[in-house]
């Protein structure tokens, strides 16, 4: 039987609220795979009380014991102890708990190909403040724990798909991390992911330039001429339908959107604002290039509403549906 694990992320955020509200929905009952939350029971009970939600909690000792979802019931496995249960206020002491949950989910997914991992939102700065100075984000952590050579962050919605050549690094570091060999691998992984996970027979990838106007023939930067386009050429020679670098400021017009299966952006904020403008709350974050199935929500921790009101469940539903399809 396929099973999903949910690592809820930052305890002070809405990650745990999402699953509590979801367990009261028709969607929960209609899921093909049982979902098991990796969580401290004290956090479940505390947050459900704060939100005034009447929910049953069933602890299981192994994923083999997981049963079909039942309305108003959350199955859980406890992998760590949450130090601070308070919603809305970050506490670095919770960092180890967050990563213990994530590590458990990764380990279980590595053991069993029929287990997928869905992750809730984290606050990277809080984990760093908790002593994990090298932490960059879910994608980078999963790459390390799965010992993957290359991974690609892909955000996908019904309207647009965006992959990233670099992820959570300062803008000043981006040019140093745009390497020909790395871009070739990223384009190959993206191409394969579009074919296998989205069943697109001949994916069309639009590659964005790093510089304004894609460097304008080297007058505004040479990365497109020296690195990006040569990498694209090698991929095109392999039969991959990838464009040469084009300017990001004209890449998202209606005509281009309709003929592009996925965009490859050179840095985090180059294309994600477009995706979130078009599809915020309806997109899913997918990790390509790793041996496990991992999906995530497209939004942050929303500390301002955690423990106060029902959050938008659109993205968590999409993340769950995407994980089920991939298993």
Residues 112 and 254 occupy one common structural domain: no
Residues 144 and 155 occupy one common structural domain: no
Helix and strand counts by DSSP (H, E) for the chain = 13, 12
Position 280 scores a pLDDT of 85
Position 168 scores a pLDDT of 87
Position 214 scores a pLDDT of 84
pTM of the model: 0.90
Q: Tokens 């984990």 map to which residue? A: 127
Residues 224 and 248 occupy one common structural domain: yes
What residues in the chain have per-residue pLDDT under 50? none
Count how many domains the chain has.
2
Residues 1 and 134 occupy one common structural domain: yes
Position 255 scores a pLDDT of 93
Quick: pLDDT tens for 103-114: 999 999 999 999
Position 45 scores a pLDDT of 97
Residues 14 and 136 occupy one common structural domain: yes
Strands 3-7 and 35-38: parallel
Helix ranges, the chain (H): 15-22, 26-30, 41-50, 95-111, 124-129, 138-146, 174-177, 180-197, 223, 229-237, 254-259, 268-279, 314-326
Single out the residue in 250, 269, 284 at which a domain terminates: 284
Distance (Å, rounded) from C-alpha 78 to C-alpha 76?
7
Q: How many CB atoms lie within 10 A of CB 107?
A: 16
Residues 256 and 324 occupy one common structural domain: no
The CATH number that applies at residue 240 is 3.40.718.10
Residues 115 and 177 occupy one common structural domain: no
Position 216 scores a pLDDT of 81
Position 217 scores a pLDDT of 81
Residues 114 and 170 occupy one common structural domain: no
Residues 278 and 315 occupy one common structural domain: no
Position 65 scores a pLDDT of 93
Residues 136 and 252 occupy one common structural domain: no
Distance (Å, rounded) from C-alpha 86 to C-alpha 81?
14
Residues 82 and 143 occupy one common structural domain: yes
Position 3 scores a pLDDT of 96
Identify the domain containing residue 48 by its residue range: 1-148+290-327
Residues 163 and 43 occupy one common structural domain: no
């Amino acid at each position: 039987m396929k099973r999903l694990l949910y690592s809820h992320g930052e305890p002070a955020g809405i990650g745990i609220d999402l699953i509590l509200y979801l367990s009261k929905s028709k969607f929960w009952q209609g899921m093909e795979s049982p979902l098991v939350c990796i969580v401290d029971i004290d956090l479940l009970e505390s947050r459900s009380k704060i939100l005034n939600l009447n929910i049953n909690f069933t602890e299981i000792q192994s994923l083999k014991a997981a049963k079909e979802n039942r309305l108003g019931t959350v199955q859980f496995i406890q992998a760590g102890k949450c130090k601070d249960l308070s919603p809305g206020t970050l506490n670095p002491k919770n960092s180890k708990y967050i990563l213990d949950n994530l590590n458990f989910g990764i380990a279980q997914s590595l053991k069993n190909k029929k287990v997928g991992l869905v992750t809730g939102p984290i606050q990277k700065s809080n984990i760093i403040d908790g002593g994990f100075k090298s932490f960059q984000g879910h994608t980078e952590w999963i790459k390390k724990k799965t010992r993957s050579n290359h991974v690609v962050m892909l955000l996908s919605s019904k309207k647009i798909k965006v992959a990233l050549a670099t992820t959570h690094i300062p803008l000043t570091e981006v040019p140093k991390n745009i390497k020909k060999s790395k871009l070739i691998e990223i384009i190959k992984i993206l191409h394969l992911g579009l074919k296998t996970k989205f069943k697109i027979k001949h994916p069309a990838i639009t590659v964005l330039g790093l510089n304004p106007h894609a460097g304008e023939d080297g007058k505004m930067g040479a990365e497109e001429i020296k690195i990006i386009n040569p990498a694209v050429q090698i991929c095109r020679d392999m039969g991959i339908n990838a464009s040469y670098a084009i300017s990001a400021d004209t890449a998202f017009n209606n005509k281009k959107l309709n003929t592009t299966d996925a965009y490859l952006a050179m840095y985090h904020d180059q294309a994600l604002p477009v995706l979130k403008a078009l599809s915020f709350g309806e997109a899913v974050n997918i990790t390509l290039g790793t041996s496990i199935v991992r999906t995530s929500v497209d939004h942050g921790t929303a500390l301002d509403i955690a423990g106060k009101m029902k959050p938008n469940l659109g993205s968590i539903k999409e993340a769950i549906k995407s994980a089920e399809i991939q298993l």
